[in-house]
Structure formats: structure tokens, C-alpha cells
Structure 1
Amino acid sequence: MKSRIVVAVVFFVGFIVGFSAVTLVAHEPSQLVSLIGGIVGGYVLLFLYKRFNTS
């Protein structure tokens, strides 16, 4: 159960970072573009977390 919470938090942080990065780079992007950037950011951070946290 605890690992699911950690995964959710990691994905959420990645989503926020990705969403913010797309919003800063593209001047006034559409909501869909920002959402896709957030999802990609979440999966990238989740991938990095799982790769470096093999237990």
C-alpha cells in the first residue's frame, strides 16, 4: 500500500513539473498540450524513480 502512495506522489510531482515546463516554454499553450506535457513529465519521473530505486 505504501508503495502505491509513493508512486502516486512521484507521478504527481512529475506531472506538475512537466505541466509547468510546457507552460513556461510555450507561450500560452493549449490546455491539451499542457496536459500532455504533464503526463509525459509524470511518466518520465516515475521511470527514473523505478530505475534508480530497485529494491
Structure 2
Amino acid sequence: CTPNISWHGCDPVYSCAINPLDSKRLVTAGMRGSIYLWDIEWPTAQQPAITFVSSLTGA
């Protein structure tokens, strides 16, 4: 199952990375210079639960 990513206000997501030391953290970067931090929970089902944590927007 491949998750469909439609974050960043439906703008393209150019990059994403999972912290290799903590697989519950995801960072995404979008076309407007915005960076988003997410928490990932892996319940017993195969679909992860992803929760927005914080954002950082560049100029």
C-alpha cells in the first residue's frame, strides 16, 4: 500500500525523510519553501496514522 500524499495545501511535496533514529518522525518540504514535521503511528493495520506537529516557512 502506497500512501497518497496531498499535504502542503495540495502544492507539490519535493522531499520527504523519516528520521533513521526515530521512525515515528517524518519531515516534508514543499515548493513554497515550507517544511512540515509529522508524527507517524503504526497501528496494527497497515495504514499509518500521520499527525501534523509543526511547520517552518522560509522567505
Question: TM-score, length-normalised on structure 1?
Answer: 0.27
Q: Rg larger in 1 or in 2? A: 1
Question: TM-score, length-normalised on structure 2?
Answer: 0.26
> More helix per residue: 1 or 2?
1
